[in-house]
Amino acid sequence: MQPQEIERLFTRSGEYSFARWGRPLAPIVFGVEDETLSLIKGAFEALCTMSSHTMTDGDPELGANVMMFFFRDWEELLDVPDLGRMINGLETLVPRLQASGANQYRAFRFDKHGAIKASFVFLRMDAALSAQPAEELALSQAAQVMLAWGEAAFSDRSPLAQLEDGRVVLHPQIAALLRAAYDPVLPVCARDASHALRLAARI
């Protein structure tokens, strides 16, 4: 990948903004069956192994630091106890997501060093998401949680790729970028676009 491509993947509100996790991932999933739950956790485990990051059963500060919600209608979020305390402006966010026809939304929280410390993933299972095989959905969502991507990072491309035998895997370019992003020599967050040059050199 060229530095310009990488810069675009981490551009948010017109500015370069990169962040990776600064602590092990402790995911919890709501609204799915046990079989799907194991697929989602397996996807996180695979990406953590590939990027040399780690997972844990519980975060000492937060308990679970990756919270994934699967549901049918955005209004269901308003009935989740204490969710409004975790997602600022939930009452105004839900109508906006309904009006736009969105089927997914991600929010991140960061620590004092700028590293990701928590992520909230909301998936409204409309026809498009429901038609996606569970393995593909799990891998795609896990990839989009591993880094704080820019707002248009995957608007015209998927983080996944299909092999000749029909199997779907993490796109090789995204996989290489994840490995580079978790190089311990690099900072956990960056606001200067020169950081994209350092990632490109490692890829």
From first to last of the 203 residues of the chain, give the pLDDT tens digit. Answer: 899 999 999 999 999 999 999 999 999 999 988 888 899 999 999 999 999 999 999 999 999 999 999 999 999 999 998 898 889 899 999 999 999 999 999 999 999 999 999 999 999 999 999 999 999 999 999 999 999 999 889 988 899 998 888 889 999 999 999 999 999 999 999 999 999 999 999 99
Q: How many CA atoms lie within 13 A of 71 on its CB side?
A: 17
**pLDDT reported for residue 28:** 94
For the segment 9-36, what is each residue's pLDDT rounded down to a tens digit?
Answer: 999 999 999 999 999 999 999 998 888 8
Give 68-129 as a DSSP string: EEEES-GGGGGGSTTHHHHSTTHHHHHHHHHHHT-SEEEEEEE-TTS-EEEEEEEEE--HHH
